[in-house]
Amino acid sequence: MFPETEVYFELVFLHLKYIKQARMKILIIEDEAGLREVVQQSLEKEKYIVETAHDYISGLDKLGAYDYDCILIDIMLPNGNGLDLLQELKRQKKQSAVIIISAKDAVDDKVKGLDLGADDYLSKPFHLSELHARIKSAIRRNNHNGDNLIVYKNVTLSPEQRTVAIDNKELILNRKEFDLLYYFIINPNRLINKTAIAEYVWGDHTDQADNLDFVYSQIKNLRKKLKESDAEIDIQAVYGIGYKMN
Amino acid sequence: MKLQNYTLRYLAITLLLVIPIWAGIFYVLILDEVYDNIDDDLKNSKIIIVRHAFANKELLNSPEFGINKFTIKPLPKGQYSHKEEFSTLKEFMEYDNDNEPIRTLKTVFDDDKGNSYELIIKASIVEEDELLEDLFLALIGLYVMLVISILLVNRLLLKRIWKSFHVILDNLKEIKLGTGSKLKPINSSIDEFIILEKEVEKMLTRNEMLYASQKQFIENASHELQTPLAISINKLELFAENNILPDEQMMELGKITDTLNRLTKLNKSLLMLSKIENQQFSEEKNINFNELVLLLVEDYADLSDYKKVKITVTQNDSLHFMINKGLAIALISNLLKNAIIHNHPNGFVNFIINKNDIIISNSANNSPLNPEVIFNRFYRHTTTNESTGLGLSIVKSIINNYSITIEYLFTKNHQFKIIFPKK
């Protein structure tokens, strides 16, 4: 079995339109070398083709020369502003999904970015699992003419309908359980930090000492439901860090 | 005690001491002068009487005081002292129907034949008790008038003089750092006040600058920390994914990540605080707090179920308020989160929503909190190292922005009352 197979299948179902070009291209425009590298490595693990730019000018060059499925833009760049790059992109009528990344977490920047046509806004620091989730949904939304079902093994999930089917039999989940499953499905085989899970599903409600137990007790219910309906996926605890679905 | 009353009190007490001392001295001096005068007069009368007696021998035998104010009695032959003796005694006076003091001069003179005669001259003098009484009354009058006039001068004049000072005081009371409040001008011609005003203004400007740069520093530092934090967390995540480490080492890796996550939370809370204080949450909406509380209670249902804490909401009225939505959520959720977390299994959290206030009370094992310090940054009641110690500071800075007040009470349960300003 090729290691890519799972990812391959996932992407096939995510974007039926792109079957022939399953490996998507992502551009990272970020001036901090450390962050650029770690994001690049993480994305390459997911079989994305990743290119990087370290400032406004090199970002502008790459934007104009190639088409990307998704572009990550840091707002504050040497010799320019990321929002201007976004404007340039829209001017060139490029179809890429765009995620703004900023250390500022300022409401103004967020509103401005989204107004200029960014698909999402992510403030630093973020969890890699969160970044992957955002990239996937941004690409999915950007290609809205595709079939939006996410299929992994015998589990089919519809983010729009918020429904889950296992072997075509519907599995009833409550809102939080659905969010949990969605996060795992969109990050298959990835070790997800428990804080990332808690933040994704419950916001910043749970920054307290019993974070671990709390997330565990919520995941326990989901696991039980998945097992009862013979899902071919299972969520495993990686002690001390978080969880992994395979 | 106010400044003008303060000086008045000391002046009144001083006058009360100074006036009797002055009166005593005055009384002694006046009396001395009066006696001196009368004695001079008596001496003068003696010269005139003796001269008349030489001319008119009949006068030499007038042993009774009649209309005359003197007596002359012949003395047996012998040697007599010719000294003048003065004395004061009391004599019945028909007019007053009372004994009145009189002054007498007793002396001896010789006529041309060498016979000695005793001469007594009397004169009525001041009634000391009545003089004292009059003086006493006059002094009370003087004292009262002095105090009243000082009071009036204080009221009218000093009030006007100190007006600028009170403007400066009001200015100082009004100052709220970070709001760019301006000082009211004093328009005084008094040097001291002008200097005071100038110095206060300088101090305020300096403090405003310090405050602004401190805020700027916190904000910049928090921003600058985000990227290194992102790199560290992401590198660790990637490392944890890539490496199959023994369980214990994975545990350690998890602990490092947890610590970094905590740092992230802390940093975000600090940023949030700076932003609230810099009033960067400007967009306001009329928020229905009843709906908001119900929504947040539902949001926190998983956590409260897990902690076995029962949440109830009593709506006595509907509460609307113009506020930034994000801040309204932060305000309620910080208090709600605390109430759930600092609770015990089978405990409760109660919301009571009234027309102008929301009361959040929760059961707890621990003793009352100190309301003086709970809103301070980084104050922690418990030793849970996972809390940032900034939750209630955020609450406090939100309510400060909107003239909302918050009260903490402990009556077996912890109770926070958020009081909204009346419209």
- CATH number at B316 reads 3.30.565.10
Residues A241, B387: C-beta atoms closer than 8 Å? no
- Domain membership of residue B157 (yes or no) is no
Length of chain A: 246
- Least-confidence region, from B120-134, B212-226, B251-265: B120-134
Tell me: do A10 and A98 sit in the same domain: yes
Total domain count, chain A: 2
Note the pLDDT of residue B385: 55
d(CA B37, CA B31): 10
Residue among B317, B337, B318, B334 nearest B326 (CA):
B334
- Are residue A220 and residue A192 in the same domain, yes or no? yes
B410 and B365, same structural domain?
Answer: yes
Confidence of residue A7 (pLDDT cuts 50, 70, 90): low
Crossing angle for the helix pair B163-174 and B191-242, to the nearest 10 degrees: 0
Radius of gyration of chain A (CA): 18
Are B264 and B310 contained in the same domain? no
Any chain A CB within 8 A of the CB of B386? yes
Average pLDDT over all residues of chain A = 83
State residue B360's pLDDT score: 95
A186 and A129 within one domain: no
Predicted confidence (pLDDT) at residue B161 exceeds the cutoff of 70: yes
Q: A170: domain CATH number?
A: 1.10.10.10
* Residue A10: HSE in the Cβ half-sphere, 13 Å Cα cutoff: 21
Nearest to A83 by CA among A73, A97, A70: A73
For residues A14 and A129, state if they share a domain: yes
Residue B310 has pLDDT above 80, yes or no: yes
Q: In one letter, which amino acid is B293?
A: V
End-to-end CA distance of chain B: 36
d(CA A90, CA A114): 12
If asked whether residues A27 and A46 sit together in one domain, one would say: yes
What is the rounded CA–CA span in Å between residue B359 and residue B99? 86
Which token pair is B118?
A: 């005793």
Let me know whether B176 and B75 are in one domain.
no
pLDDT band at B420 (very low <50, low <70, confident <90, very high): very high
Given a contact cutoff of 8 angstroms between Cβ atoms, the answer to whether B95 and B76 are in contact is no
Top pLDDT among B398 and B60 is at: B398
Q: Which of B277, B293, B310 is the last residue of a domain?
A: B277
In the structure encoding, which two tokens stand for residue B212, read together? Answer: 């602004």
For residues B45 and B133, membership in a common domain is answered with yes
Work out the average pLDDT over B205-220: 85
CA dihedral A155, A158, A163, A166 (to 10 degrees): -10
Among residues A142, A170, A201, the one where a domain terminates is A142
Q: What are A121's two structure tokens?
A: 């806004």
pLDDT band at B94 (very low <50, low <70, confident <90, very high): confident
Query: Do B322 and B358 share a domain, yes or no?
Result: yes
Q: To 5 degrees, how large is the angle CA A211–CA A212–CA A213?
A: 95
Which residues neighbour B278 within 8 Å (Cβ) at sequence distance 6 or greater? B178, B215, B219
CA A73 to CA A54: how far, in whole Å? 10
Q: Are A29 and A82 in contact (CB under 8 A)?
A: yes
Work out the average pLDDT over B246-264. Answer: 87
pLDDT at A20: 43
Instruction: Decide if B226 and A239 are in contact by the 8 Å CB cutoff.
Output: no
pLDDT at A213: 76
Residue B13 lies in a domain: yes
Q: Are residues A107 and A206 in the same domain?
A: no
pLDDT score, position B88: 84
| Distance separating alpha carbons of residues A153 and A181, to the nearest angstrom | 13
Paired with B410 in beta bridges are B414
pLDDT digits (tens, 9 = 90+) for B257-305: 888 988 888 888 888 888 888 777 878 899 999 999 999 999 888 888 8
Q: What is the pLDDT of residue B234?
A: 92
pLDDT exceeds cutoff 80 at A203: no
* Same domain as A161, residue A122: no
Do B31 and B136 reside in the same domain of the chain? yes
- Measured distance CA(A34)–CA(B53) in Å, rounded: 137
Q: Does pLDDT of A137 surpass 50?
A: yes
Does residue B320 belong to any structural domain of this protein?
Answer: yes
pLDDT of residue B357: 93
What is the longest distance spanned by two Cα atoms in chain A?
57
Nearest to A102 by CA among A86, A89, A88: A86
pLDDT in tens, A208-220: 555 667 888 888 9
pLDDT tens digit sequence for A81-112: 899 999 999 888 888 899 999 887 666 778 88
User: Is pLDDT at A6 greater than 60 in this prediction?
Assistant: no
* Domain, as residue range, for B364: 285-419
B177/B292 same-domain check: no
Residues 6+ apart with CB under 8 A from A133: A183, A186, A187, A200
Instruction: Answer with the residue of higher pLDDT: B319 or B369.
Output: B319
Kindly state whether residues B140 and B197 are assigned to the same domain: no
Quick one: pLDDT at residue A105?
Answer: 67
Residue at which a domain ends, from B277, B299, B314: B277
The identity of residue B303, as a single letter, is L
* Residues paired with residue A242 on neighbouring β-strands, in sequence order: A193, A238
Cβ pair A205:B268 closer than 8 A: no
Please report, for the domain that includes residue B61, its CATH number. Answer: 3.30.450
Tell me if B260 is assigned to some domain: yes
Q: Residue A18's pLDDT is what?
A: 46
Question: What one-letter code names the amino acid at B26?
Answer: F
Are A158 and A132 in the same domain? no
Decide which of A142, A168, A203 is a domain's last residue. Answer: A142
**Chain B stretch 171-230, residues whose beta carbon is closer than 8 A to a beta carbon of chain A:** 223-224, 226-230
Residue A8 binned pLDDT confidence (cut-offs 50, 70, 90): low
- The 3 state secondary structure assigned to chain A is CCCCHHHHHHHHHHCHHHHHHCCCEEEEECCCHHHHHHHHHHHHHCCCEEEEECCHHHHHHHHHHCCCCEEEEECEECCEEHHHHHHHHHHCCCCCEEEEEECCCCHHHHHHHHHCCCCEEEECCCCHHHHHHHHHHHHHHHCCCCCCCEEECCEEEECCCCEEEECCEEECCCHHHHHHHHHHHHCCCCCEEHHHHHHHHHCCCCCCCCHHHHHHHHHHHHHHHHHHCCCCCCEEEECCCEEEEC
pLDDT of residue A207: 57
What integer pLDDT is reported at residue B59 of this predicted model?
76
Nearest to B84 by CA among B40, B43, B34, B37: B43
Q: Does B420 touch chain A (CB under 8 A)?
A: no
Mean pLDDT of chain B: 85
Q: How many beta carbons lie within 10 A of that of residue B271, not counting itself?
A: 22
Last residue of a domain, one of B253, B277, B301: B277
Section B302-324 average pLDDT: 92
- Domain extent for A137: 5-142
Written as six digits, the tokens of B61 are: 């035998």
| Residues B233, A241: C-beta atoms closer than 8 Å | no
Domain-terminating residue out of A142, A165, A182: A142
Q: Based on the fold, state whether residues B297 and B271 are members of the same structural domain.
A: no
Q: pLDDT band for position A206 (50/70/90)?
A: low
Q: Quote the pLDDT of residue A19.
A: 43
Q: Is residue B161 part of a domain?
A: no
- Is A134 part of the contact surface with chain B (CB cutoff 8 Å)? no
Q: State the pLDDT confidence band at B92, using cuts at 50, 70 and 90.
A: confident
Q: How confident is the model at residue B316 (pLDDT cuts 50, 70, 90)?
A: very high
- Residue B396 belongs to what H/E stretch? helix B391-401
Packing angle between helix B325-341 and helix B391-401, nearest 10 degrees? 140
Is residue A207 a contact partner of residue B340, using CB atoms and an 8 Å limit? no
Q: Are B258 and A195 in contact (CB under 8 A)?
A: yes
pLDDT of residue A1: 43
Q: Is the pTM of this model over 0.95?
A: no
- Asked if B251 and A107 come within 8 Å (Cβ–Cβ), the reply is no
Q: Does A111 touch chain B (CB under 8 A)?
A: no
Task: Output B215 or A169, whichever has higher pLDDT.
Answer: A169
Q: Is the pLDDT of residue B147 over 80?
A: yes
Q: Which of B262, B268, B300 sits opposite A205 (nearest CB)?
A: B300
B144 with B10, same domain: the answer is yes
Q: Encode pLDDT of A170-198 as tens digits.
A: 999 888 889 999 999 988 888 888 888 88
pLDDT beyond 90 at B321: yes
A212 and A134 co-located in one domain: no
Answer for the pair B287, B323: CB distance below 8 angstroms, yes or no: yes
Q: How far apart are CA B11 and CA B150, in angstroms?
A: 8
With vertex at residue B129, the alpha carbon angle to CA B127 and CA B134, rounded to the nearest 5 degrees, is 95
Q: Enumerate residues 6+ apart whose C-beta is below 8 A from A168.
A: A156
Q: What is the mean pLDDT of residues B217-234?
A: 88
Mean pLDDT for the stretch of residues B26-55: 87
pLDDT level of residue A17 (50, 70, 90 thresholds): very low
* Confidence label for A5 from pLDDT (cuts 50, 70 and 90): low
Percent of chain B with pLDDT over 90: 22
What is the C-alpha to C-alpha distance for residues B323 and B172, in angstroms, rounded to an integer? 28
Greatest mean pLDDT among B124-138, B320-334, B374-388 lies in: B320-334
* Contact residues, chain A, for B303 at CB < 8 Å: 202, 205-206, 214
A vs B: CB pairs below 8 A: 119
Residue A133 and residue A186 share a domain: no
Q: What's the CA gap between B139 and B118, in Å, rounded?
A: 44
Which of B314-318, B373-377, B400-404 has the least mean pLDDT?
B373-377
CB contacts, 8 Å: A245 with chain B:
none
Give residue-wise pLDDT tens across range B19-38: 889 888 988 898 888 888 88
- Claim to verify: residue A159 and residue A226 sit in the same structural domain: yes
**A117: exposed, middle or buried (C-beta count within 10 Å: 0-12, 13-18, 19+)?**
exposed
Contact yes or no for A35 and B247 at CB 8 A: no
Residue B158: inside a domain? no
Which pLDDT belongs to residue A28?
A: 95
Q: Are residues A55 and A136 in the same domain?
A: yes
| A40 token code pair | 């690049």
Q: Examine the domain organization and report whether B259 and B179 are in the same domain.
A: no
Provide the Cα torsion A229, A234, A239, A240; round to 10°. Answer: -90
User: Any idea what the CATH number is for the domain that residue A99 is in?
Assistant: 3.40.50.2300
Query: Amino acid identity, residue B257?
Result: T
Per the CB < 8 Å rule, is B386 touching A211? yes
The region of weakest confidence among A12-26, A33-47, A201-215, B157-171 is A12-26
pLDDT at position A212, please?
66
Residue B159 lies in a domain: no
Residues B43 and B106 in one domain: yes
Q: Which of B257, B387, B394 to mutate to test the interface with A (most CBs of A within 10 A)?
A: B257
For A240, the closest of B224, B235, B255 (CB atoms) is: B255
